[in-house]
Amino acid sequence: MKQLSEKVAGIAPSATIEISNKAKKMQREGIDVISLSIGEPDFDTPKHIRDACIDALNRGETHYAPSNGIPELLTAISDKIAKENKFPCKPDQVIVTCGAKDAIYEGMEAALNPGDEVLLLTPAWVSYEPCVQMANGKIVKHAVNQKTFQLDDSILERVNARTKMIVVNSPSNPSGAVFDAKSMKLVADLCEDHDIYAMSDEIYEKLVYGKEHISLASIGDMAQRTITINGFSKAYAMTGWRLGYAAAPLAIIKEMSKVQQHSVSQATTFAMWGAVAALKGDQQCVGEMRREFDCRRKYMIAELNRMGYGTAPADGAFYAFVKVDGDDMAIAARWLEEGHVAVTPGSSFDAPGWIRLSYAASLDRLKEAMGRIERVGGN
Ligand SMILES: Cc1ncc(COP(=O)(O)O)c(C=O)c1O
């Protein structure tokens, strides 16, 4: 048989999905596993959003829609961006995609030529590197300061004539860190001084606790060279709807649109009507979920610190990033096998010596999980 694609063979499967599959297998065997390994809100999608989708289905919104998205949603997104993210964005500078992940993939396909270098700040979420690989780009990793989780001038050492793009993810998955104005300005200056594009993944923008979320495209002229990624999964508990979007200069959106037209065609028509309701409806549901996450966050960080673990500044998203004394892969395996708590080793995010725990689980389950982790220990 002829050999399958070398490019795809070189891509690692998603570590977070693999761990979650292992935890699910144990659950099927009757073991009470507490899963803190996956990035998914445990809330239901708010009712007014579900109702808007059901209404759309019932009135026959079941046909093909414009590839970039229904005009009502494109307008709702561009209005939201102008108001909240504070950069100019017209509806034709938006593309609605099948999840934010799809927007990242299409953005990489649209921007990269073979061998173009993409600066990735680590610890980094698991899918950026494979998306760059699929677009034939080359990843260049740069570790952020592991105390502050902010950027400093050392990043300049990674820049050369082949650097095409930098990926920024604030609030960060996995660290929960939120880039301050200084870090963001550093990225903006770097892009403008060296003619580099930016991809700014802001999917956790609504889950920030006491810090300000800054959109990269709102700084200077960055809107002209930034692909802003966002979506509905995390803010509105809509992971299974598979709806995300990108906002970017028109020239980039046009290229992303070609990738979309010839792959998924469009996001699901009736699901997009739910997203219109999400953006235009009452935002109280977002605040309620954020308050609940904040409560769990405070509990979990305090418990981990009490047990003697250091933690990254948990200012955003819904993850505690925990420093362990030893091999993170071995410790995560023990927590799962002996404590029946599923977590994600930092090595999956290029941060060996750390473990990511999601607090998107009820406070009762988190309490039980902390007890189990304490019993098993971390060395
Ligand atoms: C940083 C980050 N970006 C993008 C995504 C993908 O989100 P979506 O469900 O909209 O594809 C995730 C999901 O885990 C994420 O953590």
Q: Does some domain include residue 52?
A: no
Residues 270 and 342 in one domain: no
Q: Is the pLDDT of residue 239 over 80?
A: yes
Q: Does some domain include residue 213?
A: yes
Predicted local confidence at residue 275, as pLDDT: 98
| Per-residue pLDDT reduced to its tens digit, 140-150 | 999 999 999 99
Does the beta carbon of 345 lie inside 6 Å of ligand 1?
A: no
Please give the tally of structural domains in the chain.
2
Residues 73 and 39 in one domain: no
More confident residue, 108 or 333: 108
Q: Is the pLDDT of residue 325 over 70?
A: yes
Domain end position, chosen among 247, 280, 313: 280
Question: Mean pLDDT, the chain, as a whole number?
Answer: 96
Residues 296 and 271 in one domain: no
Ligand 1 center–CA 101 separation, angstroms: 6
Domain end position, chosen among 257, 280, 303: 280
- Which domain covers residue 315, as residue numbers? 6-45+284-376
Q: Is the pLDDT of residue 13 over 80?
A: no
Residues 169 and 214 in one domain: yes
Q: Does some domain include residue 182?
A: yes
Q: Is the pLDDT of residue 337 over 70?
A: yes
For the CA of 125, the closest atom of ligand 1 is 1
Ligand 1 center–CA 127 separation, angstroms: 9
Predicted local confidence at residue 379, as pLDDT: 63
Domain end position, chosen among 232, 261, 280: 280
Residues 166 and 84 in one domain: yes
122 phi and psi angles, rounded to 5 deg: -110, 150
Residues 371 and 242 in one domain: no
Q: Does some domain include residue 38?
A: yes
Predicted local confidence at residue 19, as pLDDT: 76
Residue nearest to atom 13 of ligand 1 (CA): 39
**What's the mean pLDDT in 1-25?**
84
Q: What CATH number does residue 168 fall under?
A: 3.40.640.10
Q: What CATH number does residue 363 fall under?
A: 3.90.1150.10
Residues 136 and 201 in one domain: yes
Does the beta carbon of 123 lie inside 6 Å of ligand 1?
A: no
| Per-residue pLDDT reduced to its tens digit, 179-219 | 999 999 999 999 999 999 999 999 999 999 999 999 999 99
Residues 259 and 112 in one domain: yes
To 10 degrees, the CA torsion angle through 138, 175, 253, 266?
A: 110
**What's the mean pLDDT in 306-315?**
96
**What's the mean pLDDT in 155-175?**
97
Q: Does some domain include residue 249?
A: yes
Q: Is the pLDDT of residue 128 over 70?
A: yes
Q: Does some domain include residue 54?
A: no
> Which of 106, 125, 128, 129 is the pocket-test mutation for ligand 1 (most atoms within 8 Å of CB)?
125
Ligand 1 center–CA 2 separation, angstroms: 35
Residues 247 and 195 in one domain: yes
Residues 152 and 271 in one domain: yes
Percent of the chain clearing pLDDT 70 (strictly above) = 99
Residues 187 and 84 in one domain: yes
Q: Does some domain include residue 57?
A: no
